[in-house]
Structure 1
Amino acid sequence: MEDTFPNTSSSEEISHVSFDAKSFAVRIKENQLTLSRAREDYKHERNCCDVTIRLPRVQQQQAGGSGVGGGGECTVKAHSVILAAYSNYFHGAFTCPLVEKQTKVVTLSHQWNEADLLTILDMIYGGSFELNQDNVFDVLYLADYLLVEHVTAICLEYIKSHLTIEQALELWKVAKRSANAPLIKIAKEFSLRKFSKLVKNRNSGLYDLNSKQLLSIIRQDDLKIRNERTILDCVYDWAVSGQTRESGSRFEDPNFCKLVWQGVRLGRLTRNPTCNCCSFATNRVADSCKCFDIGKVCPLHEPSFEDYPMLNTHVQSCSDCKNSLERLSNQQTFQEFPTNAWKQDPVSSMWYKPRTSYETVVAVGGWNDNSPTATMQIYNPQANSWIKIAGDERSARAYHGLVELNGLLYCVGGFNGTERLNTLLCLDNKTLQWIEKSPMHEKRCYVSVVSLKGFIYAIGGHDGTTRLKTVERYEACSNQWTRMPSMSLVRSDACATTKDGRIYVIGGFDGDSVHNAVEVFDPDDQTWTFAASLSSPRSGVRAISCKGKLCVIGGFNGERRLKTIEILDEQKCVWELQDGCMSVARSNFGIEVFGKYVAVFGGYDDERRQTTAACEVFCFAEGAWFPIAPMPITAGCSALAVVTIKKMNAHFDFVPRSSAESEKSR
């Protein structure tokens, strides 16, 4: 076994196993009658079997429908037409000028288990079969050897859906030894996404790795962690939990210093454990913590390892570590961070390099420069940075809805500058192109949209003539919209969010007045009821559920735009104003949750009387708002739609296409 795990980049990602279903179906259809008869014969008498498969194993478990041949060989009977249709291995054996074509006897060169072969044959013949933790890998390896692609795909999907924390790293090592690319991909993605759980689970095998293996993992850009302190804790726990054969203490391992200074991105530790400041906090008063940027060490808490006694002792006694610590301390004290200095100072540059985020915030469309835009803006919370992707102008819109359903983005309704829309667009994750789906029954801009229990709900809005209280629901598998019970009140420019399996529709405008009323829809009973009203009316408002709390933010009260936040006290059935206010009074902005923060993006700035690019986050622990990186689109935008996708990676899924577009623009 090699000492390191593979470090694949986005350009080297391995595709999932797949097979040509269309050509496969044609082959089967042409021989449908023959296949049907062969299946019946295989299940019962097997009188028409014309192929013998020999397994060169001495000890075999007896299985129904096959016997044990002489000389320690186990034989299984089957039909050549069936095997050739499903297996490229057998198809080649029976069509090429090989001895198997004449004798119809196939001797497998490896020692496979008869039970696994029979499982594959049952899957081929359409009979009942069982995959479990005990046999799935053996079945996979045999199916891969026999080139039975659809069985291989089924096994891989089973492994992917049943993989556990305790199995992931061992699978990664086994897959690497056998050079099984699909298994490596499954194990790697699982381990990196679940790394925080690997750290906490002492049975995960993480602390049994050698130093080179651990370093190859923690150096990965796409580790899913919220704080680099998780990595530092992991390195320390690994060092104190075992010994090496050569030097005894893991602190004396030749690669231990690399684990600390090349594995841990020390410049992106969010804070000292005793500091309660928000990761995004800036410009604090002099006697408080000053976190100059997301993920940067606070200069009032100079980097040290006092919370890690044995590591601190090692650093003080190691000249290389002392030099690295002094360099890091100077950078933090004087706020002189290396920029674009990878070749000149690779180690120091890595201290500040952000890891990629598995929480990707996608902002689509909006009102910009007096017209709707088709631009997509992608925010990486881990790096506090944006990328901008130009969209097809035919999909330009504002005052629309955007939701995620089954890993796909759906854009609902809106206004394209000329007419109100009833269209539904779905984003192709591979091409980043919008695909049109079944349209709604009614045109809707200023629409409120949510996804819940596998459905998309479009609520209220304006059809160009009338403000609406109607509701319709979209089912992706049938690509159909269905009318649902209407709200009690007419609402456009309201907002909707979900909590505890119900839909909350809040505020809005009916053509005469701005609402403070809240209606709740129960999808099981398909009934609407009123809930506690807001403390002030709001349209162009946004609401979201975070940390078990239902939050309503900003909006227009009929006279001015607001910067306040209200949270529902469910026990008292009242909305309570919070002390913290946004820096910008805004309406028609984007809102999303990532990590422990509620974030707002863009919108219409009441003071400046124009769209804004300003973004900020609300930290519940401090009850305060903090600015984050502004949107990259010139002059910002309002009436945009924003959603967080947890299954897409801002670096892998969007950066390559953004870079390609930048090259084209040049």
Structure 2
Amino acid sequence: MASSQEPSIHDDDNEDESSELHACISEEALNALNEMRKGNLMCDAVVNVNDGSFNVHRAILSSCSSYFRALFTNSLSLEKQNVFIPDMRAAIMEEIINYAYMRKCDINPLNVHELLALADYVGMTGLVKQCKIILARMLTPKNCFGIMRFANSFRFCDDLYKKARTFLLRHFTQVAARNEDILKIGLDDFLDIITDDMLNTRDEELVWKLCIKWIDYDVNDRQKHLPQLMQGVRLGLMTPKFFMDEVKDHPYVVKCVEARPLILETLSFLYELDMMRPNDKELVTPLIAIPRLPHEVMFAIGGWNGGTSKSAIETYDTRADRWVNIPTEDPAGPRAYHGTAVLGFKIYCVGGYNGVEYFNTCRVFDAVKKTWKEIAPMHSRRCYVSVAVLNGQIYAIGGYDGINRLNTVERYDPKSNQWSMITPMNMQRSDANACTLDGRIYATGGFNGQECLSTAEFYDPTNELWTPIPSMNHRRSGVSSVAYRNHIYVIGGFNGLARLSTGEKYDPETETWTFIQEMSHARSNFGLEIIDDMIFAIGGFNGIATIPHTECYVAETDEWMEATNLNVVRSALTANAVSGLPNIRDYIHQNRELLMEDRRQRMFPNIGAIAIADHFESADEEMYVEGSE
């Protein structure tokens, strides 16, 4: 779900070091040692700083600090040692000593930078690690460049530097709008950012505008760097109007002779793009038009077509606008009408149907390792199941067990690998959909065995109750939903008579439903997901045929735009976005220099090579698993 709050980073892979320590030393023992220190009992050293002094036990400080170990082991005297540490405030030394005794201390935004530097000075690697974790969690568009620059000044902070830089690239749009520090950096550092393939923007115009802001910050010194900056901007990805109005005719460009060859190259490319013909020679995409790499990809898994379930996996590369076939199908076999959920880099496939069996089995795909494995089965078989994630746990909601439409709900805990039954819904719902917003799960629409539903309800884990909300404007079975910009968007589906192209959004504040712009294609049982701050509708069934069409909704303009079709035509699939994959290049379009040629071939296909039957299936085959028993 997109959020109006500033994004931040959380390093969930780093466990609390104090919990590891407590496995072997009790908290009571730690407290006792610290109380002895405060009472000056059996202390054998005094640590002095400019504005204070501290009685300590040499053995305790030596156990976690290479600096104090070297200092105290040089003398075996039984007399109390006095040591002085220059350039350290008493408030910081207090936290360092607290960490030495308790393996925890007060790390906050006001002291974390100083504490990290001095923890490194005294050789407390554990405290250094905790400071880096806190700094990573503090990352925002306003401070990420400052943290990146701070991390770069320490030899041991490469991991923090990479996290800050990744954050900056991922949230470039907000960084460009809010971060003033980026305007103060030198040419090399600025070029390093704007030329990076991982710079996350779907509008190259923003990169150009930032370049102009960077020059304006010190025009006299920086205007001469314009040609180098223009080489870093993907000018061929701009709209022709923006390029002509804002780049070609910009005063800086008009006065710069060295910029003219790049302007001519871009004009030539945009002309070829506009005048593309079927008999043109093979087009090679120039560097100025090769798209950057995405930070997230969308996985389309499984589905139904031609009376059979499918095991196909495709990923969508938003920057290249291409679907990519992924050869990592589940060896356990295909499934359709299932649910999926993402936790980290893992995609959980829940329930479903393969044309013969209604599943209670669940499988998980690790997108980094590219492996599948079985997890604990659900208590009930669930086809047409709704799946949502809340607080790191997966909820399987309603569905059809082959006999009955269900109102039961069960919850999966990945830590224990166990499903547990929770409060059932107020209504039976199969072919519904669920999503999470503000700590609640919203279940919308569906089929109860007699009719398609317009009702909706939400689950609140604090009271473990399902509560009805106002009904939608349309009945919707085989519907899809997402939480987006503090609203629940419910789109498409089947009203009992026809497949729908309509969509509506629910505002929890006003408890009202309002229509949004209709899709170009009516559809039910399709994938719906948010990626690149747009809502994508993928595949599905239009009442006559299974369709490959993908389209995306832009909230700012309330309009749907066409995107590239699926490679494998199917309905009853799922779509999930996965962010930050370390192996993201495995899931994107590989031959990016051939994207323009690929586009030409799509515009002018060899009609004789297309078997229309591959794209359209009879309605009778789909209706068997489309809500009828």
Name the TM tier (shorter chain): 0.7 to 0.9
Say whether 1:361 aligns with 2:335: no
Distance 1:268 1:321 in 2: 17
CA–CA distance in structure 1, aligned partners of residues 62 and 127 of structure 2: 14
CA pair 217-575 structure 1, distance change in 2 beyond 3 A:
closer
Q: Which has the higher contact order (CA 8 A, sep 6+)?
A: 2
Shift of 1:209: 1.6
Find the counterpart in structure 2 of residue 11 from structure 1: none
Aligned position for 1:649: 580
Query: What corresponds to 1:318 in structure 2?
Result: 256
Q: CA separation of 1:365/1:337 partners in 2, compared to 1, >3 Å: closer, same or farther? A: farther
Give the alignment of 1:503-582 within 5 angstroms: 503-511=441-449, 513-523=450-460, 526-529=465-468, 531-535=470-474, 537-546=475-484, 550-558=488-496, 560=498, 562-567=499-504, 580-582=518-520
* Distance in 1, Cα, partners of 2:542 & 2:135: 50
Gap runs ≥5 in structure 2: 1-10, 277-282, 591-629
The answer as to whether partners of 1:415 and 1:445 remain within 8 angstroms in 2 is yes
Which residue of structure 1 lines up, in the alignment, with residue 74 of structure 2?
A: 100
- Whole-angstrom CA distance in 1 between matches of 2:560 and 2:226: 40
- Structure 2 distance, partners of 1:595, 1:453, is 23
User: Could you tell me how far apart the structure 2 residues matched to 1:487 and 1:238 are?
Assistant: 55
- Per-residue CA deviations over 1:592-623 (Å, capped at 9, x if unaligned) read 13345331112235434xx4433122345665
Q: Deviations over 1:106-130 (max 9, x none)?
A: 9899966665444223113117632
Question: Which of 374, 394, 397 is the aligned partner of 1:456?
Answer: 394
Return the alpha-carbon distance in structure 2 between the equivalents of residues 107 and 337 of structure 1. 79
Distance 1:409 1:659 in 2: 21
Distance 2:557 2:29 in 1: 72
Asked whether the 8 Å contact 1:566–1:575 carries over to 2, the reply is no
Which digits, 9 at most, give the CA deviation of each residue in 1:291-326, with x for residues without a partner?
xxxxxx24xx3732x4479x7233223222122111
Distance 1:532 1:153 in 2: 51
Q: How far apart are 1:200 and its partner, in Å? A: 2.3
Are 2:571 and 1:638 equivalent residues in the alignment?
yes
Q: Which amino acid aligns with 1:654?
A: I
Describe the SS at the equivalent of 1:157: helix
Paired with 1:182 and 1:324, the residues of 2 have a C-alpha distance of 37
SS of corresponding position for 1:520: strand
The alpha-carbon deviation at position 258 of structure 1 amounts to 1.0
Q: What residue is the counterpart of 2:57 in the other structure?
A: 78
Amino acid of the structure 2 residue aligned with 1:263: G
Distance verdict in 2 for CA 1:101–1:401, change over 3 Å: farther
- Among 165, 172, 176, the alignment partner of 2:148 is 172
Tell me which residue corresponds to 1:266. Answer: 235
Distance (whole Å) between structure 1 residues aligned to residue 571 and residue 217 of structure 2: 53
* TM alignment of 1:173-572, pairs within 5 A: 173-179=149-155, 180-201=157-178, 204-243=180-219, 248-251=220-223, 253=224, 255-259=225-229, 261-269=230-238, 297-298=239-240, 301=241, 303-304=243-244, 306-307=245-246, 312-335=250-273, 349-367=286-304, 371-389=308-326, 390-394=328-332, 396-405=334-343, 409-416=347-354, 419-428=357-366, 430-434=368-372, 436-452=374-390, 455-475=393-413, 480-498=418-436, 502-511=440-449, 513-523=450-460, 526-529=465-468, 531-535=470-474, 537-546=475-484, 550-558=488-496, 560=498, 562-567=499-504
Contact 1:302 1:333 in 2 (8 A): no
Question: Per the alignment, do residues 23 and 225 of structure 1 end up closer, same or farther by CA in structure 2, a change over 3 Å counting?
Answer: closer
Residues 414 and 446, structure 1, Cα contact 8 Å, conserved in 2: yes
Question: Aligned partners of 2:306, 2:331: CA distance in 1, in Å?
Answer: 14
Q: Is the 8 A contact 1:516 1:534 kept in 2?
A: no
| Contiguous gaps of at least 5 residues in structure 1 | 1-14, 67-76, 270-296, 339-344, 661-666
Aligned to 1:162: 138
Determine if the alignment matches structure 1 residue 45 to structure 2 residue 21.
Answer: no
* Aligned 8 A contact 2:50 2:87 in 1: no
Distance 1:429 1:208 in 2: 39
Contact 2:348 2:362 in 1 (8 A): yes
**AA of the residue aligned to 1:208:** K
Deviation at 1:332, TM superposition (A): 0.3
The aligned residue for residue 132 of structure 1 is 108
Q: Is the 8 A contact 1:388 1:658 kept in 2?
A: no
Secondary structure of the residue that 1:333 maps to in structure 2?
A: helix
Match of 2:602 in 1: none
Equivalent-residue separation in structure 2 for 1:416 and 1:89 (angstroms): 64
C-alpha distance in 1 between matches for 2:65 and 2:128: 11
| Distance apart, 1:364 and its partner CA | 2.6
Q: Which moved more, 1:317-326 or 1:137-146?
A: 137-146
User: What is residue 615 of structure 1 aligned with on the other side?
Assistant: 550
Amino acid at match of 1:149: T
2:580 corresponds to which letter in structure 1?
Answer: N
CA distance in 2, matches of 1:547, 1:17: 28
Change (3 A) 1:431 1:211: same
* 1:250 partner letter: R
Return the letter of the residue paired with 1:268: L
Q: Secondary structure at the match of 2:24?
A: helix
Preserved contact between residue 397 and residue 415 of structure 1 (Cα < 8 Å)? yes
Partner of 1:600: 537
Contact kept, 8 Å, 2:215 with 2:222, in 1: the verdict is: yes
- Report the TM-score, using the length of structure 2 for normalisation: 0.76
The amino acid that maps onto 2:255 is S
Separation in 1, partners of 2:74, 2:330: 56
Q: Deviations over 1:49-86 (max 9, x none)?
A: 4xx5878xxx61204x33xxxxxxxxxx4343x45654
Name the CA shift for 1:127/1:623 in 2 (closer, same or farther; >3 Å): closer
- The 8 Å contact of residues 16 and 182 in structure 1, kept in 2 or not, is answered as no
Find the aligned partners of 1:144 and 1:596 in 2 and give their Cα distance.
Answer: 40
Mapped to 1, the partners of 2:390 and 2:533 lie a distance apart of 22
Q: Could you say if the C-alpha distance between residues 175 and 197 of structure 1 is closer, same or farther in structure 2, counting changes exceeding 3 Å?
A: same
1:84 and 1:425 map into 2 onto residues whose CA distance is 49
Match for residue 628 of structure 1? Answer: 563
Aligned partners of 1:117, 1:607: CA distance in 2, in Å?
73
TM-score if structure 1 supplies the norm length?
0.72
Letter in 1 for 2:166: E
Structure 2 letter corresponding to 1:62: G
Match of 2:526 in 1: 589
Question: Aligned partners of 1:307, 1:23: CA distance in 2, in Å?
Answer: 56
**Alpha-carbon distance change, 658 to 417 in structure 1, aligned in 2, over 3 angstroms:** farther
Partners of 1:394 and 1:336 lie apart in 2 by: 47
How far did residue 151 of structure 1 move? 1.7
1:31 Cα offset (Å):
11
The percent identity for this pair of structures is 28
Task: Please tell me the residue identity of whatever aligns with 2:52.
Answer: Q
Q: Give per-residue Cα distances to partners, 1:420-455, cap 9 Å, x unaligned.
A: 333445554642434555543322121012234555
Spell out, residue by residue over 1:119-164, the C-alpha distance to the aligned partner (whole angstroms, 9 max, x if none). 2231131176322334322322343455533322211111122245
Residue type at the aligned position of 2:243 = P
